[in-house]
């Protein structure tokens, strides 16, 4: 009997020891959930370490269990930011919009608006982003907010290669904003847009009448040589076939050769257009890396730029 009691006691003690060991993991416990400070700190831990998926879940849990806590606003914004960092701008945008609906007078409402515009740019919706920023500029409660909204619009226009409109907007930024965002340097850079090297696609097509001429015009000399030699070879083979009295073969080779000839003309035009897109994109990317200032950090790091995909 005593032995049975002893064994039962040892079993209970062992179970309690294991239970205590299992209660120590890095997962939220009921104690953390019922304690606002613990839950908020737990969510921030994931956010700071870059575990964005779990950070969203923990901030949502905090908002659910402690809706009256003054940190609910920041928890909602951190959750939206974590979603954006995770590469889910559409979901982040919904969060920012929900925040603005619930807390339109919050001090963080302006930041939520700017982050919404960044999400829209990441979703390739530049016109909608510009419309949002224009509204923020028109209703801004301070020159700082207005200048930041206009500055962000400048970069939207620049990312779409609308340099004249970007320059016009840059001129609207106030003196303090121009100094903060190095706008004078940016304006000088925008003046250089007129000098971006360009090739005329029409001229490239015309020069392609001589096989390879369009490619040579675009400084793609290897392609020019290949196009010239292929077309000469097909022309020579066609002539030779007819001289040998093989009209059927001559027609066949000539037909295939005509396809290569037309492709040479199309290729020359396309080469000019591609050269222009490459030069334009290079100009924008260099401008972003050298001149774009992050309004939050003041660093030149090309934050949040989304260049048109057809460049």
Express each pLDDT in 249-293 by its tens digit: 878 878 888 898 899 999 999 999 999 999 999 999 999 999 998
Q: What are phi and psi of 218, to 5 degrees?
A: -90, 10
- Chain centroid, CA 73 distance in Å: 26
Contact 182, 291 (CB under 8 A): yes
pTM of the model: 0.77
pLDDT, tens digit, 9 for 90 and up, residues 2-42 = 444 444 444 444 444 444 344 444 444 444 446 899 999 99
Contact 179, 298 (CB under 8 A): no
Nearest to 71 by CA among 35, 31, 118: 35
Q: Which residue matches tokens 């603005």?
A: 100
Residue 300 bridge partners (DSSP): 293
Rg (C-alpha) for the chain, rounded Å, is 32
What's the confidence (pLDDT) of residue 208?
92
What's the confidence (pLDDT) of residue 308?
53
């Amino acid at each position: 009997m005593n032995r049975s009691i002893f064994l039962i006691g040892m079993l209970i003690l062992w179970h309690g020891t294991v239970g205590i060991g299992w209660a120590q993991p890095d997962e939220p416990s009921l104690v953390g959930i019922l304690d606002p400070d613990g839950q908020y700190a737990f969510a921030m831990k994931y956010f700071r370490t870059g575990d964005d998926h779990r950070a969203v879940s923990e901030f949502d849990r905090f908002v659910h269990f402690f809706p009256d806590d003054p940190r609910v606003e920041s928890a909602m914004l951190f959750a939206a930011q974590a979603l954006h960092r995770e590469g889910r701008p559409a979901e982040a945008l919904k969060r920012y919009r929900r925040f603005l609906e619930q807390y339109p007078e919050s001090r963080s409402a302006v930041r939520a608006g700017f982050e919404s515009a960044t999400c829209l740019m990441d979703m390739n919706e530049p016109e909608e982003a510009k419309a949002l920023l224009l509204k923020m500029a028109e209703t801004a409660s301070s020159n700082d907010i207005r200048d930041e909204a206009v500055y962000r619009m400048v970069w939207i226009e620049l990312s779409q290669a609308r340099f004249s409109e970007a320059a016009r907007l840059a001129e609207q930024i106030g003196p303090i904003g121009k100094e903060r965002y190095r706008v004078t340097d940016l304006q000088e850079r925008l003046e250089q847009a007129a000098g971006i090297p360009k090739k005329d696609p029409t001229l490239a097509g015309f020069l392609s009448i001589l096989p390879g001429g369009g490619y040579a015009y675009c400084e793609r000399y290897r392609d020019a040589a290949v196009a010239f030699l292929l077309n000469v070879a097909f022309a020579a083979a066609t002539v030779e076939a007819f001289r040998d009295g093989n009209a059927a073969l001559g027609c066949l080779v000539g037909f295939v050769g005509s396809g290569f000839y037309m492709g040479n003309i199309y290729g020359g035009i396309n080469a000019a257009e591609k050269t222009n897109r490459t030069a334009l994109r290079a100009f924008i990317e260099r401008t972003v890396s050298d001149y774009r200032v992050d309004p939050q950090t003041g660093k030149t790091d090309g934050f949040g730029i989304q260049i048109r995909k057809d460049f």
